[in-house]
Structure 1
Amino acid sequence: MERKKGMMAAFAAGLLWGSTSPIAQFLFDNKGIDSKWLVPYRLLASGALLFLYAVVIKKQKPVEVWKTGKDAVRTIAFGILGVMGMQFSFFSAIQETNAGVATIFQYLNPAMLLIYFAVIYRVMPKKKEIIAVLFSITGIFLVATHGNLHSLSISPKGIIFGLLLAVSTCFYGVLPSPLLKKYPAEIICAWSMLIGGGVLFFLFRPWKMAVEIDLEIVVAFLGIVIPGTILPFCFYLAAVKYAGSVYAGLLSSVEPVAATIVAAVCLGTAFPPIDILGFAMVLATLFILSVNSM
Structure 2
Amino acid sequence: MNKKLFGSICGIMTGVCWGVSGVFGQFLFETRGVESFWLVPIRMLSAGIFLLLYGTITDLPNTKRLLHNRRDFLQAILTGVCGTMMFQLSFFLAVQHSNAGTATVLQYLCPVITMLYVCLRDRHAPKKVELLCIFLALAGIFLISTHGNVGSLVITPAALLWGVATAFFMFLNTVIPEGIYKRYPSTVVIGWAFLFGGIALCLIFRPWNYSVQIDFAVVISMLFIVLGGSVFAYLFYGNAIKRIGPAKSSLFAASEPVAAAALSIIWLKTSFSVIDILGFVLIISTLFILSSTNA
TM interval, shorter chain, is over 0.9
Q: Bigger CA drift: 270-279 or 160-169?
A: 160-169
Q: Which residue of 1 aligns with 2:95?
A: 94
- Structure 2 distance, partners of 1:115, 1:284, is 17
Contact 1:60–1:187 (8 Å) recurs in 2: no
Is 1:240 paired with 2:231? no
Is 1:249 paired with 2:250? yes
Q: Which residue of 2 aligns with 1:6?
A: 7
Q: Secondary structure at the match of 1:59?
A: helix
Gaps of 5+ in 2: none
- Counterpart residue identity of residue 110, structure 1: P
**CA displacement, residues 242-279 of structure 1 (integer Å, 9 cap, x when unaligned):** 01111100010110111000001100000001000000
Cα offset, 1:60, TM superposition:
4.0
Q: Bigger CA drift: 158-167 or 276-285?
A: 158-167
Q: Which residue of 2 aligns with 1:173?
A: 174
Is 1:274 paired with 2:275? yes
Q: Which residue of 2 aligns with 1:157?
A: 158
Q: Which residue of 1 aligns with 2:45?
A: 44
What does residue range 72-221 of structure 1 map to in structure 2 within 5 Å? Answer: 72-119=73-120, 121-221=122-222
**CA displacement, residues 148-206 of structure 1 (integer Å, 9 cap, x when unaligned):** 10000111111111121111000111112211111121111111001001000010011
Q: Which residue of 1 aligns with 2:262?
A: 261
- Structure 2 distance, partners of 1:64, 1:265, is 46
Q: Secondary structure at the match of 1:244?
A: helix
- Structure 2 distance, partners of 1:159, 1:61, is 39
**CA displacement, residues 123-167 of structure 1 (integer Å, 9 cap, x when unaligned):** 211221111111111111100111110000111111111121111
- Counterpart residue identity of residue 76, structure 1: I
- Structure 2 distance, partners of 1:266, 1:277, is 22
Cα offset, 1:66, TM superposition:
2.9
Cα offset, 1:59, TM superposition:
3.3
| CA distance 1:137–1:234, shift in 2 (3 Å) | same
Cα offset, 1:99, TM superposition:
0.6
Contact 2:80–2:193 (8 Å) recurs in 1: yes
- Structure 2 distance, partners of 1:7, 1:114, is 25
Question: How many residues are matched?
Answer: 294
- Structure 2 distance, partners of 1:134, 1:78, is 30
Cα offset, 1:227, TM superposition:
1.5
**CA displacement, residues 191-247 of structure 1 (integer Å, 9 cap, x when unaligned):** 100100100001001101111111110011001111221111111111111011111
Q: Which residue of 1 aligns with 2:224?
A: 223
What does residue range 60-71 of structure 1 map to in structure 2 within 5 Å? Answer: 60-71=61-72
Cα offset, 1:120, TM superposition:
5.6
Cα offset, 1:11, TM superposition:
0.8
Contact 1:43–1:197 (8 Å) recurs in 2: yes
| CA distance 1:135–1:86, shift in 2 (3 Å) | same
- Structure 1 distance, partners of 2:16, 2:69, is 37
Cα offset, 1:292, TM superposition:
4.5
What RMSD, in angstroms, separates the aligned Cα atoms of the two structures? Answer: 1.3
- Structure 2 distance, partners of 1:11, 1:31, is 30
Contact 2:62–2:184 (8 Å) recurs in 1: no
- Structure 1 distance, partners of 2:292, 2:190, is 30
Name the TM-score, length of structure 2 as normaliser: 0.96
- Structure 2 distance, partners of 1:285, 1:110, is 7
Gaps of 5+ in 1: none
Contact 2:25–2:92 (8 Å) recurs in 1: yes
Cα offset, 1:58, TM superposition:
3.6
- Counterpart residue identity of residue 236, structure 2: F
- Counterpart residue identity of residue 232, structure 1: A
| CA distance 1:122–1:279, shift in 2 (3 Å) | same
